[in-house]
Amino acid sequence: MIQYKRDLFMKKHIIPIICCLSIIIIVFNLNDITNILAKHLSGHTALTIGNSNEYTKNYDFLYVKRSKDYIPYSYNNLLDIIFSVINNGWQEFTFYCPSEYSDCLKDIVSITKDETILTHINNFVHPYNNFSKINTSITESGEISLKVFYLYDSEEIKTINKYVDETIANYYQDDKNDFENLKAIHDYIINNTKYDIERNDTGESKYKSYKAYGPVVDGYATCNGYADLMAIILSKLGYENYKIATTSEEISYKSNGHVWNAVKINDEWLHLDLTWDDPVSKDGKDYLYHKYFLVTTEEMKKSDGGTITVEEHNFNKAIYQEFLPIINQKEN
């Protein structure tokens, strides 16, 4: 009788508790279990998922999204994995092509050899996680290894962060709205920065104007430097943002392309272009415009019109999809 009561107690109480605990353990270790299964089924080594750094963006975009399992089954999955590796600030990462994705190796070669696509992906991450170069190693067995070389070093980041903190403290006020605060920062950067004509014309300069260090330390910037600095400030303030690049492919006349900022304010994506608001003048005077300050695409097109049509803002809407009409966004 005692044994019967013990068995009954086990069935009613102990066994259900053990089952619940087992389910909890499985849920919290799902990635590890998946990797173990993948290893045995595919013959590949399990993936090593590291921690993201402090500059990782914790939100997705329409063109690229944060990966969850890092197993690609499509071209878009590959784009998401590359974005996630860069976005997380990882220096090295290895993943594998599953047998179900027959074009995986062909597609990864196509993506990693296309500097334009990589540049566009780079624009969606925080500037401190931007790469200067990516090395890709691919084996016939489907192993893909990425090695990322980052654009900013620790000393540059320290210097820029000091500038950013001081700028926000001096020009961002809680009793003002987004437009007023960002206008004050926009004007401060332009009033203390000159466009680096030498780098634009020759590709060389004594200034690090191609990144945020240029306007912060040297007082000179190309469009990359303006956009990087503003992107760092926008991220520090908590705005969803990215950089937009127009390449020479979208421009009919000779041009190296252009980069500016996109920022989400009150659920609307707007353009912010410090470079074109800080024009190089023929008379040598400094000018400050607001033609490209927090404008819609239609407003930007109007500013680009005139006797000479500006094409530097002819961005690829298939990539920067946040600026598509909402109905088209849903379809994508």
pLDDT digits (tens, 9 = 90+) for 264-283: 999 999 999 999 999 876 66
pLDDT at 249: 87
Mean pLDDT over residues 180-200, rounded?
96
Give the residue among 135, 169, 138, 159 at the shortest CA–CA distance from 149. Answer: 135
CA–CA dist 289, 292 (Å, integer): 8
11 has pLDDT over 90:
no
Give the pLDDT confidence score for residue 118 in this predicted structure.
Answer: 97
Using one digit for the tens of pLDDT, what is the confidence trace for 135-154?
A: 999 998 899 999 999 999 99
Pairing of strands 220-221, 194-195: parallel
Taking the chain, what is the end-to-end CA distance rounded to the nearest angstrom? 67
Tell me, what's the pLDDT at 6?
Answer: 52
Task: Identify which has the larger pLDDT, 271 or 12.
Answer: 271
In this structure, are residues 256 and 275 in contact, taking their beta carbons and an 8 Å threshold? no
In angstroms, the CA 331 to CA 66 distance is: 20
Q: Which residue has the higher pLDDT, 30 or 201?
A: 201
If one compares 320 and 25, the residue with the highest pLDDT of the two is 320
Backbone angles phi, psi at 224, to 5 degrees: -65, -45
Confidence of residue 45 (pLDDT cuts 50, 70, 90): low
Question: Taking each helix axis from N to C terminus, what angle separates 75-87 and 115-122, rounded to the nearest 10 degrees?
Answer: 50
| 261-288 exposure pattern, b = at least 16 Cβ within 10 A, e = fewer | bbbebeeebbbbbbbbbbeeeeeeeeee
Lowest mean pLDDT segment, chosen from 23-37, 64-78, 98-112, 260-274: 23-37
pLDDT of residue 15: 53
Residue type, 198: E
Which position has the higher pLDDT, 240 or 30? 240
Comparing 29-43, 226-240, 313-327, the range with the smallest average pLDDT is 29-43
User: Tens of pLDDT along 232-246?
Assistant: 999 999 999 999 999
pLDDT of residue 87: 98
pLDDT level of residue 24 (50, 70, 90 thresholds)? very low
Q: HSE on the CB side for 305, CA within 13 Å? A: 6
The pLDDT assigned to 283 comes to 60
Average pLDDT for 284-311: 90
pLDDT at 141: 87
CA distance linking residue 103 with residue 182, whole number of Å: 45
Between the alpha carbon of residue 164 and those of residues 35, 123, 157, 182, the distances in Å are: 41, 20, 10, 13
CA distance 42 to 46: 10
* CA distances to 122, 156, 212, 221, 257 from 229, in Å: 15, 12, 5, 10, 18
**Least confident segment among 41-45, 89-93, 131-135:** 41-45
Tell me phi and psi for residue 163, to 5 degrees. -60, -45
Amino acid in the structure at residue 127 = P
Query: Which secondary structure element, helix H or strand E, spans residue 162, and what is its range?
Result: helix 154-171
pTM of the model: 0.85
Please spell the DSSP secondary structure of 176-227, one letter per residue: S-HHHHHHHHHHHHHHT-EE-HHHHHHS--SS-TTSTHIIIIISEE-HHHHH
In the sheet that 143-150 helps form, which strands lie side by side, from edge to edge? 92-96, 143-150, 131-138
Q: What percent of the chain has pLDDT over 70?
A: 83
pLDDT band for 26, please (50, 70, 90 cuts): very low
